[in-house]
Amino acid sequence: MLFGTRDRRSALARDALVNGGRARASRASALLRLLLVAMVVFAGVAHSQAIQPLPFKNRAEKVRFQHLTSQLRCLVCQNETIADSNAELARDLRLDVFQQMQQGRSDKQIKQYLVARYSDFVLYDPPLQADTLLLWFGPLLILLAGAAVVVIAIRRRSRDAGTTAQVPAGQAPTDNEDDW
Amino acid sequence: MSRLLPLFGFLLLVGLFGFGIWWNTQHDQNEVPSPLINKPAPAFVLPLLDDPTRTVSKASLLGKPYLLNVFASWCFACGEEHPTLMAEGSQLGVMLLGYDYKDAPDDAKNWLREHGNPYRMVVADRPGRTAIDFGVYGAPESFLIDAKGVIRYKHIGPITPEVITKELKPAIAALQKESP
């Protein structure tokens, strides 16, 4: 898109030169058009540099880059991804990821490269391995424990209800303590 | 007994939260433990700060242990650490190698002139590429590298007299025991 606009500008400049001898008015308007186009072009350049100066080959590559960097943690701010962070290190790591992509390395290889240097902490998604089992399945364990407590309480209560029904009239049930 | 169960549950939670608070006062939560401990230091070739035409490499430093201290003139905590290095750096028993991280050479030179230079040599990593290989994510950081070029210990944050007596000196003593 940028190159397209640049070509248009040079075409206009040529246009202005060819027609230059004809009339001052048309030259002035050509200059004005040139100026306008230049403004648009340079505004575009400044804008793209402020946000993302990396020269992507195509949209797919850009999407892949954004997807990958948004899964990686900035070590300086720690609650930001390297895609979001403004820290110098995040900028360096973005460039690093980009260059590795240019070298044809896979997402997995790039992640391994960073994990080797900055540990699993650099990954937003903790990998499933021996020392993260509790992290992954701890909530499930707590859920199961809660379910067990509920099941036991219900069973005991229905059993108590059953025995109470069988107790001959006049005898009050003695096991009141479970009634919490 | 079972009437007291909720109380026990509550006390268990209080204990858990109390432990969490205590635990977080015992260590820096932002510290990312390096996966490079007891692994070979990354190969590097870096120019000297004072003479960029000369370089220092990992290979050229093999044979003697050294403490690689990452610092920068822009780094506030390095100023806190500096007096300790000035006072005790020469008595550590290992060479102190300065690693000027993402710094303008003139700023670094002025900084060392102003605060004193505790380093045997200072290498400069202005782009910060080698620092990524070392897993550096800020300054100051210090790496103890043994005669075979293996990273034996890393300290994140300023070196204090306490860190020297409690961690650094024992780590250096362990190195000297195995290769006198």
A 10 A CB-CB count for A110 gives 20
pLDDT tens digits along B59-101: 999 999 999 999 999 999 999 999 999 999 999 999 999 999 9
DSSP B176: H
- The predicted model gives A60-77 an average pLDDT of 91
- CATH class as words, domain B33-178: alpha beta
Chain A residue closest to B33 (CA)? A119
In B, what residues contact A, Cβ < 8 A? 1-3, 5-6, 30, 32-36, 102, 127-129, 132-135, 137-138
Contacts of B41 (CB under 8 A, 6+ apart): B58, B134, B143, B145, B149, B150, B151
Which residues 124-163 of chain A have a CB within 8 Å of chain B? none
Per the listing, tokens 């990312």 go with B32
pLDDT tens digits along A103-151: 999 999 999 999 999 999 999 988 888 888 999 999 999 999 999 999 9
Q: What is the pLDDT of residue B30?
A: 79
Residue B167 has pLDDT above 90, yes or no: yes
B156: nearest Cα among B29, B25, B32: B32
With contact defined as beta carbons under 8 Å apart, do B98 and B115 qualify? no
Residue A180 has pLDDT above 60, yes or no: no
Q: Which of A88, A94, A110, A118 to mutate to test the interface with B (most CBs of B within 10 A)?
A: A118
Cα dist. A63→A44, A58, A83, A154, B25 in Å? 20, 9, 12, 53, 41
Q: What is the pLDDT of residue A168?
A: 55
Band of residue B13 on the pLDDT scale cut at 50, 70, 90 = very high
Q: Bigger pLDDT: A66 or A23?
A: A66
Phi and psi at B26, nearest 5°, equal -85, -15
Contacts of A51 (CB under 8 A, 6+ apart): none
Band of residue B169 on the pLDDT scale cut at 50, 70, 90 = very high
Residues from chain B contacting residue A177 (CB–CB below 8 Å): 1-3
Contacts of the segment B22-29: beta carbons below 8 A, 24+ positions apart: B28/B156, B28/B157
Q: What is the pLDDT of residue B5?
A: 86
Helices (H), A52-132: 59-69, 88-102, 107-118
Q: What is the pLDDT of residue A77?
A: 82
B102: nearest Cα among A87, A162, A157: A87
Nearest Cα of chain B lies from the Cα of A45 at a distance, in angstroms, of 24
Element (H, E) at B144: strand B141-145
- The predicted model gives A53-68 an average pLDDT of 89
Band of residue B177 on the pLDDT scale cut at 50, 70, 90 = confident
| Rounded distance between C-alpha atoms, residue A143 and residue B138, angstroms | 40
- Tokens at residue B143, please? 């790496």
Phi and psi at A112, nearest 5°, equal -60, -40
pLDDT tens digits along B152-164: 999 999 999 999 9
- Tokens at residue B106, please? 């003139």
Q: Which residue among A93, A119, A177 places its CB closest to the CB of B132?
A: A93
Residue B1 has pLDDT above 60, yes or no: yes
Q: What is the pLDDT of residue A165?
A: 56
Phi and psi at A140, nearest 5°, equal -65, -40
Q: Bigger pLDDT: B49 or A40?
A: B49
Contact A78 B30 (CB under 8 A): yes
From A42-46, A160-164, B54-58, the region with the lowest mean pLDDT: A42-46
User: Across the strands, what pairs with B110?
Assistant: none
Question: Assign residue A119 a region: left if phi > 0, alpha if psi is -120 to 50, beta otherwise?
Answer: left
Q: What is the pLDDT of residue A2?
A: 36
User: Across the strands, what pairs with B46?
Assistant: B56
| Rounded distance between C-alpha atoms, residue B58 and residue B146, angstroms | 11
Question: Assign residue A113 a region: left if phi > 0, alpha if psi is -120 to 50, beta otherwise?
Answer: alpha
DSSP B88: H
Chain A residue closest to B35 (CA)? A119
Q: Environment class of residue A21 by beta-carbon count within 10 Å: exposed (0-12), middle (13-18) or buried (19+)? A: exposed
pTM, two decimal places: 0.72
Band of residue A14 on the pLDDT scale cut at 50, 70, 90 = very low
Contact B32 A180 (CB under 8 A): no
pLDDT tens digits along B102-154: 999 999 999 999 999 999 999 999 999 999 999 999 889 999 999 999 999 99
Residues in chain A: 180
Q: Is A3 on the interface with B (CB under 8 A)?
A: no
Residue A22 has pLDDT above 70, yes or no: no
Contacts of A69 (CB under 8 A, 6+ apart): A81, A82, A83, A93, A94, A97
